[in-house]
Amino acid sequence: MALSQADVLAGIKEIVEEVAGIPAASIELDKNFTDDLEVDSLSMVEVVVACEERFGVKIPDEKVTDLATVGDAVNFIVNAAA
Amino acid sequence: MSQRRVVVTGLGATTPLGGDVDSTWKAILAGQSGVRLLTEDWRELLPVHFAARVATEPADQMERVEIRRLDRSEQFALVASREAWKDAGSPDDIDKERLGVVIASGIGGVITLLDQFVNLNEKGARGVSPHTVPMLMPNGPAANVGLELKAKAGVHTPVSACASGAEAVGYAYEMIKNNRADIVVSGGVEAAIHQLPMAGFAAMKALSTRNDDPARASRPYDLDRDGFVLGEGGGVLVLEEYEHAKARGAKIYCEIGGQGLSSDGYHIAAPDPDGSGVQRAIKFALANSGLSTKDIVHLNAHATSTPAGDVAEANALRKALGADADHVAVSATKSMTGHLLGGAGAIESVFIVKALQDRLAPPTINIENLDPAVTVDVVRDTPRQLPSGDIAALNDSFGFGGHNVVLVFKSL
């Protein structure tokens, strides 16, 4: 099922707020998970698993390190779901 | 170097009687029970339908994201430590290499362990939280408090079942005495109200089954006591080197005179009926403090409300204190809080500090018929005035495995 970039961004905002307590309003495509949002490595695992469940995609462990920004994650998920 | 003395400069607690020290102590002096029927469906699996849950949920005292990443025992530790640190005047400018943390737990993050096992079975390995190990490890409560305060003198977790909390306070005392630290945040917590640990204790016949009257189930020294009531929560004491506390103008509650430790070498769960291990611990504690039995006016007993344990302890106290037991007001506060396992020795230490401050020994509730085998002077129903002048009190705690810990607190 195709997912729009806007839908995925909205979903990730909700997930990151829930998991890491970061206000959704401060989560944008160019934000770096580690440096800007201070999502630590354990919480990143939670974000990934929650994204997999929500969007019905697989995010292999070796890909997770490539997902530096929120935008990287959105693009990966949109492509994986296409 | 002159002898380093150790004083108490801060207190914190979250208990079945209140979400902080003041509300808990007020309820203790009023003789209230924190024991209630459980509301969970799983209680029907068990012969015991009640426990002593904390009066204030940590979710009402902490950020939601913190709650998500912390086992319930870790939540209790942070709630109580934050209160204690603030009560100590938030001495944040201390050299962090001189700041330690010693917080115990009897069985660690057992609820996390069991919940994540359910996740594993239902969702597979991907369903297991990455926070599982930091949440279930028994040193988690101490580690999280240490991280928050940036303590660098050492973070420790003694584990000795129901003596753990007292052992933590004693360990903290030693750290300051031996010049490893100037301030140590110490205490104990437990969060084990869950069907599995409760079923385990019930299988040992250790728990009261007075389902028709939970508030009267924890009845240390009563003839009809039938086991302990599981409680949850924790207590924290900020210990500090005396000159350090004076130099920063800290409020000083009292002094820790010393501690005595021993082990029974008798049985994994049953108390040694001879009580020689307990007697030795009391003897060591008094010698370590430079006090004699004459100086002791109050004792917060371990007294869990089990048929064998209460009498074995009372006999040991009588033997260790001799005729001087006649002027020791013995309080069994587990009659109100239930048994906090690894948290017990810590909250009971908090109660002793408050007792010395207010000169009031707390009551023991639910004694309808005092067991005639109990030969110590039990404070019943209402608080008892303690003498003015220099006084001292004992806290004794024992754990499965035969661990005995006795702490000495002195007025200052």
Task: Select from B64, B127, B130 the Cβ nearest to the Cβ of A21.
Answer: B64
Residue B309 neighbours by CB distance under 10 Å: 22
CB atoms within 10 A of CB B295: 18
The per-residue pLDDT for B54 is 98
Q: How far is CA B357 from CA B162, B239, B274, B293, B354, in A?
A: 26, 16, 34, 21, 5
What is the extent of the structural domain holding A31? 5-81
Judge: A46–B130 Cβ closer than 8 Å, yes or no: yes
Query: Nearest-CA residue of chain A relative to B127?
Result: A49
The domain over range B6-247 is classified in CATH as 3.40.47.10: yes
- Nearest chain B Cα distance for residue A49, angstroms: 7
pLDDT interval class at A82 (50, 70, 90): confident
Q: What DSSP state is assigned to residue B394?
A: E
Class of the CATH-defined domain B259-410: alpha beta
Answer yes or no: do A46 and B129 touch at CB < 8 A: yes
CB-CB under 8 Å, B127 with A49: yes
Q: What is the pLDDT along chain B (412 residues), one digit of tens a residue?
A: 569 999 999 999 999 999 999 999 999 999 999 999 999 999 999 999 999 999 999 999 999 999 999 999 999 999 999 999 999 999 999 999 999 999 999 999 999 999 999 999 999 999 999 999 999 999 999 999 999 999 999 999 999 999 999 999 999 999 999 999 999 999 999 999 999 999 999 999 999 999 999 999 999 999 999 999 999 999 999 999 999 999 999 999 999 999 999 999 999 999 898 899 999 999 999 999 999 999 999 999 999 999 999 999 999 999 999 999 999 999 999 999 999 999 999 999 999 999 999 999 999 999 999 999 999 999 999 999 999 999 999 999 999 999 999 999 999 9
Total number of domains constituting chain A? 1
Residues 6 or more apart whose CB falls under 8 angstroms from that of B368 comprise B219, B222, B223, B224
Q: Which of A20, A41, A42 sits opposite B65 (nearest CB)?
A: A20
Say if residues B238 and B384 touch (Cβ distance below 8 Å).
no
ipTM over cut 0.85: yes
Rounded distance between C-alpha atoms, residue B234 and residue B350, angstroms: 10
User: Is a pLDDT exceeding 90 seen at residue A6?
Assistant: yes
Is B128 at the interface with chain A, CB within 8 A?
Answer: no
Q: What is the pLDDT of residue B207?
A: 98
Residue A46: list chain B partners with CB under 8 A. Answer: 129-131
Backbone angles phi, psi at B155, to 5 degrees: -125, 125
Q: Is B289 in contact with B408 (CB distance < 8 Å)?
A: yes
- Answer whether B130 sits within 8 Å of A21, measured CB to CB: no
Residues of B tagged active-site: 162, 302, 339
> CA-CA distances (angstroms) from residue B384 to B1, B300, B317, B348, B357?
40, 13, 19, 17, 13
CATH number at residue A21: 1.10.1200.10
Q: Is the pTM of this model over 0.90?
A: yes
Identify which of B11, B14, B150 has the alpha carbon closest to the alpha carbon of residue B73.
B14
pLDDT digit string, tens, across residues A8-67: 999 999 999 999 999 999 999 999 999 999 999 999 999 999 999 999 999 999 999 999
Q: Do A20 and B129 touch (CB under 8 A)?
A: no
Residue of B62, B64, B66, B68 to mutate when probing chain A, most A C-beta within 10 A: B68
Across the interface, of B65, B126, B130, the residue whose CB is closest to A42 is: B130
Chain A residues with CB under 8 Å of a chain B CB are 19-21, 41-43, 45-46, 49, 52
Domain with CATH 3.40.47.10 in chain B: 6-247, 259-410
How many contacts (CB atoms, under 8 Å) link A and B? 20
- Locate B9 and state its tokens: 């400069």
Write the burial class of residue B292 (CB in 10 Å: 0-12 exposed, 13-18 middle, 19+ buried).
Answer: exposed
* Beta-carbon separation of A49 and B65 below 8 A: no
Give residues 43 to 102 of B whose Cβ lies within 8 Å of A. 63-65, 68-69
Give the DSSP letter string of B157-224: ---BTBTHHHHHHHHHHHHHHTTS-SEEEEEEEE---SHHHHHHHHHTT-B---TT-GGGT--TTBTT
- Min Cα distance B12 → chain A (Å) is 27
Element (H, E) at A81: helix A70-81
What's the N-to-C CA distance of chain B in angstroms? 22
Separation CA B62–CA B67 (nearest Å): 7
Q: Under an 8 A CB cutoff, do A42 and B131 touch?
A: yes
